[in-house]
Amino acid sequence: MPIELNSKSEPQKLQNPFAQVKALVRENLKAVKKIIAVHSGKGGVGKTTFCVNLAASFAKQNFSVGLIDADVDCPSVNKMLGKNERVLTNEKQMLQPLEAHGIKFLSVGNMVDSENSAQIMRGPIMFKLISEMLYKTNWGSLDYLIIDLPPGTGDNPLTVMQIASLDGLIIVTQPMEVALVDAKKSADMAKRLEVPVIGIVENMSGEIFGEGTVKKIGSEIKFLGSIPLQKNIREFSDKGVPVVLEDEKLFSIFEGIIKGIAP
C-alpha cells in the first residue's frame, strides 16, 4: 500500500505482502524466546556498536544470544566481533551461524571474498538474503535474537519488520536535535507496522554531541539509558572485542538497558 507523503490524514497500517515467508521465519525461530530489532532513523549514530555490546552484555549475563547483521550492503558486525571466517551450510543446506564472545551471529561480511568489495544488490536480492538469514539459518534455541537493522525507513528495515515476529524495537540515536527528528521517524514506522517500541537509547552522549536531549521525548518513547562517547569504545571495536567485556562501568549501563528491555 503506497504511503502518501505530507498527508494530513492519519497514517494507514501497512499491509504485509510476505505472509508465506513470515510463516517460514516463525517456524524456524520457534525456539527463540525473544526477537528484538535495533533501528536508527539515520546512519552514523553507533547502532551496530550498540547491538554488538548489547549482545555481549546478554552473553555476559549467561543468556543465549544471537545477532543478525541485516545491514547487508554495509556489514560490520563480523569486524566488531573479530571473526572473519566464512559462513558454511550444514547437510540440510541451512546456514550455520558463527560464534564469537558467546554470541551466535550472521553477517554478509563473512560471505564475501573481501571486506573492501562493494555489495551491489537490487532489492529482490537483498530481500532473499535477509529472509534466508531468518528462515534458512540454524539458530537453534536462544533466549534473545537481536537484529541490527539498516538505518532509514526504506526497503530493508521494512522487510524485517514485515517478515519477523518482533517482540519489540529499540531505537538508537545521538543527542543532536537533527538525529532526534529521524528517531521519531523510526518510532512512526514501527507504529504503522504494529511493532512495539521498547524504548530509545541516547548514544555518543557527552561534550561533542551533547547530552540529555533524548529525555525530552521520554513522554513519547521510554528512555532506556545514555551511553557516553568514549575513546575505548572505538579502540575495542577495532580490535574485534565488545567493550563491555573489559569496561565494567559501560557494562553496568548496558545492564540497566537490559532491565528496561526485560523488566
Are the CB atoms for 50 and 172 separated by under 8 Å?
Answer: yes
Query: Is 137 among the domain residues?
Result: yes
Does residue 9 carry a pLDDT above 60?
Answer: no
Which domain does 243 fall in, by range? 23-261
CATH number for the domain spanning 143: value is 3.40.50.300
Quick one: which H or E segment has residue 175? none
Residue-level pLDDT at 112: 75
User: Is residue 218 situated within a structural domain?
Assistant: yes
Q: How confident is the model at residue 120 (pLDDT cuts 50, 70, 90)?
A: low
**Residue 9: inside a domain, yes or no?**
no
pLDDT over 60 at 145, yes or no: yes
Q: What's the CA gap between 217 and 189, in Å, rounded?
A: 16
Q: What is the mean pLDDT of residues 94-99?
A: 95
Whether residue 201 has pLDDT greater than 70: yes
Spell 46-82 as b/e; 16+ CB within 10 A means b. bbbbbbbbbbbbbbbeebbbbbbbbbbeebbbbbbbe
Over residues 215-224, the pLDDT tens digits come to 776 567 899 9
Q: Which ranges of 63-176 does DSSP label H, i.e. alpha helix?
A: 77-80, 123-135, 155-163
Q: Does residue 5 form part of some domain?
A: no
In this prediction, residue 42 has a pLDDT band, given cuts at 50, 70 and 90, of confident
pLDDT for the residue numbered 71: 87
- Decide if 12 is inside a domain: no
pLDDT, position 52: 98
120/192: higher pLDDT: 192
Domain assignment of residue 187, yes or no: yes
pLDDT category, 5, cuts 50, 70, 90?
A: very low
pLDDT digits (tens, 9 = 90+) for 62-85: 999 999 999 887 789 999 999 989
Q: What does pTM read for this prediction?
A: 0.89
Into how many domains does the chain fold? Answer: 1
pLDDT at 96 over 50: yes
